[in-house]
Amino acid sequence: MKRRIRIDLVDQREYAFHGCLPEEALIGSDYLINLRVWAKVGLSAASDELQDTVDYVALRRIVSQEMAVRAKLLENVCDRVALRALEEHPKIERVKVSITKLNPPIDGDVHAVAVVWDVRR
């Protein structure tokens, strides 16, 4: 029997300086990040040991570290988060990252913009 798990980090809040405009590098903005991973962790239910699953604290740390590295495009940040999750956690088969920029500096009344990235091993 194959057992897989899905782990979701929901609405991790970060303040970062991403964007193409010079002001965005100076002022920064609030972001919400959602990370979803699918992994083969059949042993974890029986063993009840952290080493047999994917540590969501480690995933949260990846998100924070990559959000701290400035990029012009959110696609760049999403890709870095996804690739690090896959590289550092061999049990992960698929990663879906959503980065939402709250109150983006664009014309019109737009609450947020989001980029969603989906990567499979």
DSSP 38-105: EEE-HHHHHH--GGGS--HHHHHHHHHHHHTS--S-HHHHHHHHHHHHHHH-TTEEEEEEEEEEES-S
pLDDT over threshold 80, residue 99: yes
Largest CA distance in the chain: 53
pLDDT over threshold 80, residue 3: no
This prediction's pTM = 0.93
Total domain count, the chain: 1
Q: Yes or no: say if 34 and 10 are a contact pair by the CB < 8 Å rule.
A: yes
CATH number at residue 116: 3.30.1130.10
Range of the domain at 16: 4-120
